[in-house]
């Protein structure tokens, strides 16, 4: 789990087989957190930032496939609706991460989010 996953407010980490099955979704969630930090805190993106951001499509496709597969197993009669629901769910999760990071940037600053400050938030 990345350091950025720990920044999320209200997230409980569970180590179980069910949690292990969340690989693609967790990877996309970690990506969304770091991408939000980059977009909010790095006005001029470095080559490393651009390289990191280039992973977006592959991570999103993998998470979309995984989530849609889970929904299809639960409700195979509604495959078309499951595809829409999976896409909407991923978008909602991304928006939530953007909100979380914008609040943390406002409250604690970009230096803290980037790990350049080794102090605990208030």
Give 103-121 pLDDT, tens digit per residue: 999 999 999 898 877 656 5
Q: Tokens 């991460």, residue? A: 97
Maximum alpha-carbon separation in the chain: 51
User: Are the CB atoms for 67 and 89 separated by under 8 Å?
Assistant: yes
How many other C-beta atoms are found inside a 10 Å radius of the C-beta of residue 62? Answer: 15
What's the CA gap between 52 and 75, in Å, rounded?
35
Given this model, what pLDDT does residue 116 score?
77
What does the pLDDT average to over 55-66?
96
Residue 1, pLDDT > 60, answer: no
Where in the chain are the domains? 5-113
Q: 7 or 94: which carries more pLDDT confidence?
A: 94
pTM of the model: 0.75
pLDDT bracket for residue 99 (50, 70, 90): very high
Q: Please compute the mean of the pLDDT values over residues 54-63 and round it to a whole number.
A: 97
Please tell me the predicted confidence (pLDDT) of residue 117: 73
């Amino acid at each position: 789990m990345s350091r950025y996953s720990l920044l999320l407010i209200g997230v409980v980490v569970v180590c179980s087989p069910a949690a292990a099955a969340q690989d693609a979704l967790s990877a996309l969630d970690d990506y969304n957190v770091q991408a939000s930090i980059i977009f909010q805190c790095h006005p001029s993106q470095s080559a490393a930032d651009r390289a990191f951001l280039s992973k977006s499509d592959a991570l999103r496709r993998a998470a979309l496939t995984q989530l849609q597969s889970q929904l299809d197993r639960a409700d195979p009669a509604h495959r078309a609706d499951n595809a829409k629901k999976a896409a909407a769910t991923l978008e909602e999760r991304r928006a939530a991460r953007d909100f979380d990071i914008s609040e943390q940037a406002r409250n604690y600053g970009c230096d803290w989010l980037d790990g350049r400050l080794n102090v605990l938030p208030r």
